[in-house]
Structure 1
């Protein structure tokens, strides 16, 4: 009887809630019997067609439906793609959150930025030596190399084998102690059965080895030494490794460093407090208000932009719209991180704007292969260290995941043991092996200002139509009782056509509105929704015929109410003042 219960309980599932076929938004749920272990909880930044959207977070429906089973959230590192969505999940649920000291401190900053989650404080600091025993599994950790200190991978030891999650990682044999991978621990993990490996695929297409961070540090120093003007460094706020290299180079060349943006200042203060970042000298950081006190050759401006997006800030600097810094003749803009392929057009546009403003641009990616993610050989070395039975490529667009799968096949992993998943997929393990099970509800939730999830495909479609073809407004007044259009309809447009040059078009549109409304009044029972829909259809057909555009059409119908005629009270005839005297 005990044996039967044990067999029933040995149930393992991997639920993909984000992070596949996309860049960012990492979140995965590993179910072991009745417990659910959540791996990371990240955001991604919106694509160009997501007009007005600030960030995109995962759909938490499945987690919220099973919230009583969640054992904890395990964070691998402090970047937004791993911790950014945390406030939107824990705002209503008191779930334990585990991470390294720096990761937890950065997660606290993220959590406090959203009102609903400011009181949350169920954080637990762990490190590479920690092992946590739960009813169904044991969770332990291993050190990895990434662009931020104290990055950790996660191992979930289940009754049927280990589930290994790398988070974002790369291998760098010359990494400083803060960033070194624990290869011995990886080899030790591989001595026991590894059921499945969830591994970073973001850089799987690259055949070139990543440049060692020590060499990148020398490159940054050379850039600072050979430029005599002001240097504006564009970086990601949480790339602590790059920030340290900038500070070191500034210290050796006698420059002061100005930090722009509150997010960057908070991260730097936190890293300094934890002694994970060091200043070459105590006076190297100066406030932005003192920028005019120094000559150009004395300054380095570190710009990370709002929400870690430095390119938009650089564009503002180049067009004199930035609140404190304007690019001028002699400035060097040093792009110190490697943008994704999706940002190539934006990077080219930004460079053009900088040159027009009189500056010049140097990008680290022009000369070096710099990435925080593992390339082809790194991924093969990882596979040979941990020997997984099944591989689940994650963190990357489909082509990157597919490249990862091809790499794995070269190391001997069978094709049917590699799963190229999509969001919402569930991988279940039983006696017959690991296979796709019935999926779950998953997808994107869009954040727009204070709104969470109130932006959907219909709203985005309307925004795109407004951006592409503008809006056309038709206002008409009717007397429903008399069944007549009271006055000529008023039509106007914004972002559609230049009205003064298209008076005939506007006049004919007004005629169509009047005829459509009058036809409905004469021939149909009065129905507001049908009347508006008919106006939209007639106008849409006419405007497309004339302009080949589809503006958003907004009909406005006003009803004229008949006036109530009130009878004035009768006036009593006034009595003459001298009438009494006459009678007398």
Structure 2
């Protein structure tokens, strides 16, 4: 009996980050990565975004394991949200598992989760329907793997994040022999990283980047504030080495960063050349500015918000004059507006800004030539580009076609699509529910499009509050309405507008009391509509209108009247 295989992306397609892919082989589900993404500009107030787990929750009994490619948030960040109340084994390299443990221990509902399993490039795990094995790849963090699922219908390969670097250190080196072996055994479907597919520029190797970081440190006289992703171990190592060679001390600003670095040091993935290289924050004042490097990664490893707080003096360490803010991470195109805003804040604080991406092409993801080399090594019959906006997935398709792969064998899918693998080929099957779940503080999934729309309106047009008290029995407005605005108009300069708004409130409420059967929702809706039309005509803005309508307490009035009558009788 032939196997039935479905490949389902729950994240990572037509977006940056949030990688999560399920391979369903008969009654076994293999999950590849479980990541999150950081919100783009329009997601006001949202901390992170994770995949919608609905389909997987409905089929949780079929899940045999979660297999992780590396320790960045886009691969492991959603684990605490998915593992709550579930006992699903998690597999990854030594460093990946240690970082995954830090992630889950930070959440009260998963801090007791212990079902972690360390694997290496020689590991092969036999399940009933497939065998899972791994191969070493080059990325900005040690212990990065690609994953192979060997099934009766051929091999399914997921590259994870990768690039090729011929001068990479041993712990970062790609296993080319293993890739050649996998290709010789036949690959039915390849899920390949597309994050840098639009680039034809050769990525600068890490040796050149190391020299660039050291030169930057050498020729600046003041403090250097390094903005980096906490789990970019390659970049952190380069910062440590440059600080040592320029006689500077390193300050780590956050608990998450320190835990990540201490973990990498304990596993010998990160080396410190002097015992006193890292100093506590409290010792900053003991050293001259030209001897300090401050490493800032921000909460959950996202450095831009942290830099904004430093520039606005809302953090423990403030950006000051003569500081150099050295941005060593390469943000996605979707974050360009946020990057520009952050740089502006830094300059206003009197500091300078330098971005590694201004002078070098630094990326942990393969360019066009790397992607073609991966295809030529693995020789897949079918390809599904993953991880990247649509333009990058499309660029990857073009790259693959140049190697000789027909377009009909390349699937530009989207999250929720189902790729069915059968004996006679691969085709799209009916999709499953998929989407974004937004995390705001402790709330998981309680922020929807309506809430986001209101937040956007509040940020752009403000709020307009109308307060009025009515007597429903006498059908009269008891006191003159009051209007309050925030972020809409300056009241003192718009007295006429406020006066006319009060008249509209009066008219709308009195009209409801006189001519309609009383209904609270109808009354408030009429008030929103009438005020909304008037305010837009006058200002061309759509503030959030909040009617606050109070009803006078009839029982209290009667009680007071009885007391007055009794007093008069006495």
TM-score range, shorter chain: over 0.9
Residue in structure 2 matched with residue 541 of structure 1 by the alignment: 533
Residue in structure 1 matched with residue 274 of structure 2 by the alignment: 281
State the 1:318 CA deviation.
Answer: 3.0
2:420 is equivalent to residue 405 of structure 1 = no
2:419 is equivalent to residue 427 of structure 1 = yes
Partners of 2:157 and 2:126 lie apart in 1 by 16
Partners of 2:424 and 2:151 lie apart in 1 by 17
Aligned partner (choices 126, 131, 145) of residue 133 of structure 1: 126
2:286 is equivalent to residue 293 of structure 1 = yes
Residue in structure 2 matched with residue 328 of structure 1 by the alignment: 321
State the 1:144 CA deviation.
Answer: 0.4
Aligned partner (choices 447, 462, 468) of residue 460 of structure 2: 468
2:218 is equivalent to residue 240 of structure 1 = no
Task: Say if 2:319 and 2:351, in contact at 8 Å, map to a contact too.
Answer: no
Task: Say if 2:41 and 2:338, in contact at 8 Å, map to a contact too.
Answer: no
Quick one: structure 1 residues 570 and 467, their matched pair in 2 at CA, closer, same or farther if it must change by over 3 Å? closer
Q: Per-residue CA shift, 1:371-422, capped at 9, x if unaligned?
A: 0000000000000000111100001001111000000000111101101111
Residue in structure 2 matched with residue 554 of structure 1 by the alignment: 546
Residue in structure 2 matched with residue 354 of structure 1 by the alignment: 346
Residue in structure 1 matched with residue 188 of structure 2 by the alignment: 195
Aligned partner (choices 56, 62, 69) of residue 76 of structure 1: 69
Residue in structure 2 matched with residue 213 of structure 1 by the alignment: 206
2:8 is equivalent to residue 15 of structure 1 = yes
Residue in structure 2 matched with residue 531 of structure 1 by the alignment: 523
Task: Report the number of matched residues.
Answer: 565
State the 1:542 CA deviation.
Answer: 0.8
Partners of 1:301 and 1:561 lie apart in 2 by 61
2:244 is equivalent to residue 228 of structure 1 = no
Residue in structure 1 matched with residue 258 of structure 2 by the alignment: 265
State the 1:569 CA deviation.
Answer: 11
Task: Say if 2:191 and 2:383, in contact at 8 Å, map to a contact too.
Answer: yes
State the 1:83 CA deviation.
Answer: 0.4
State the 1:234 CA deviation.
Answer: 1.4
Partners of 2:344 and 2:551 lie apart in 1 by 54
Task: Say if 2:36 and 2:78, in contact at 8 Å, map to a contact too.
Answer: yes
Q: Per-residue CA shift, 1:246-275, capped at 9, x if unaligned?
A: 111111122111111111101001001111
Residue in structure 1 matched with residue 558 of structure 2 by the alignment: 564
2:307 is equivalent to residue 314 of structure 1 = yes
2:347 is equivalent to residue 368 of structure 1 = no
Partners of 1:269 and 1:512 lie apart in 2 by 64
Residue in structure 2 matched with residue 170 of structure 1 by the alignment: 163
Residue in structure 2 matched with residue 437 of structure 1 by the alignment: 429
User: Please, what TM-score do these two structures have when normalized by structure 1?
Assistant: 0.94
Partners of 1:515 and 1:359 lie apart in 2 by 56
Partners of 2:347 and 2:494 lie apart in 1 by 39
Residue in structure 2 matched with residue 482 of structure 1 by the alignment: 474
* CA-based RMSD: 1.7
Residue in structure 1 matched with residue 36 of structure 2 by the alignment: 43
State the 1:334 CA deviation.
Answer: 1.7
Quick one: structure 1 residues 353 and 527, their matched pair in 2 at CA, closer, same or farther if it must change by over 3 Å? closer
Q: Per-residue CA shift, 1:503-533, capped at 9, x if unaligned?
A: 1111111111111111111111111111111
Q: Secondary structure at the match of 1:416?
A: helix
Instruction: Report the more deviating stretch, 31-40 or 221-230.
Output: 221-230
After TM superposition, where is structure 1 displaced by more than 6 Å over at least 4 residues in a row? Answer: 567-571
Partners of 2:504 and 2:474 lie apart in 1 by 20
Q: Per-residue CA shift, 1:413-452, capped at 9, x if unaligned?
A: 1101101111111111224421111111110000001100
Partners of 1:491 and 1:218 lie apart in 2 by 62
Q: Secondary structure at the match of 1:115?
A: coil
Partners of 1:112 and 1:531 lie apart in 2 by 50
Task: Say if 1:207 and 1:375, in contact at 8 Å, map to a contact too.
Answer: yes
State the 1:345 CA deviation.
Answer: 2.6
Residue in structure 2 matched with residue 497 of structure 1 by the alignment: 489
2:500 is equivalent to residue 508 of structure 1 = yes
State the 1:337 CA deviation.
Answer: 2.0
Q: Per-residue CA shift, 1:192-235, capped at 9, x if unaligned?
A: 12110000000000001111111111221222222233222111
What aligned pairs does 1:102-121 form with structure 2 within 5 A after superposition?
A: 102-121=95-114
State the 1:51 CA deviation.
Answer: 0.7
Partners of 2:339 and 2:484 lie apart in 1 by 38
Partners of 2:484 and 2:326 lie apart in 1 by 47
Residue in structure 2 matched with residue 416 of structure 1 by the alignment: 408
Partners of 1:355 and 1:456 lie apart in 2 by 36
Instruction: Report the more deviating stretch, 400-409 or 316-325.
Output: 316-325
Partners of 1:44 and 1:125 lie apart in 2 by 25
Instruction: Report the more deviating stretch, 31-40 or 342-351.
Output: 342-351
Partners of 2:185 and 2:55 lie apart in 1 by 31
Partners of 2:389 and 2:444 lie apart in 1 by 25
Partners of 1:128 and 1:512 lie apart in 2 by 73
State the 1:363 CA deviation.
Answer: 1.8
Partners of 1:140 and 1:204 lie apart in 2 by 26
Partners of 1:200 and 1:439 lie apart in 2 by 22
Q: Secondary structure at the match of 2:361?
A: coil
Partners of 1:471 and 1:427 lie apart in 2 by 47
Q: Secondary structure at the match of 1:327?
A: coil
Q: Per-residue CA shift, 1:156-196, capped at 9, x if unaligned?
A: 00100001001111010110001000000000000112110
Partners of 2:470 and 2:290 lie apart in 1 by 71
Residue in structure 2 matched with residue 3 of structure 1 by the alignment: none
2:94 is equivalent to residue 122 of structure 1 = no
Structure label with greater radius of gyration? 1
2:179 is equivalent to residue 183 of structure 1 = no
Task: Say if 1:320 and 1:327, in contact at 8 Å, map to a contact too.
Answer: no
Q: Per-residue CA shift, 1:49-93, capped at 9, x if unaligned?
A: 111100001100011000000010001000000000000010121
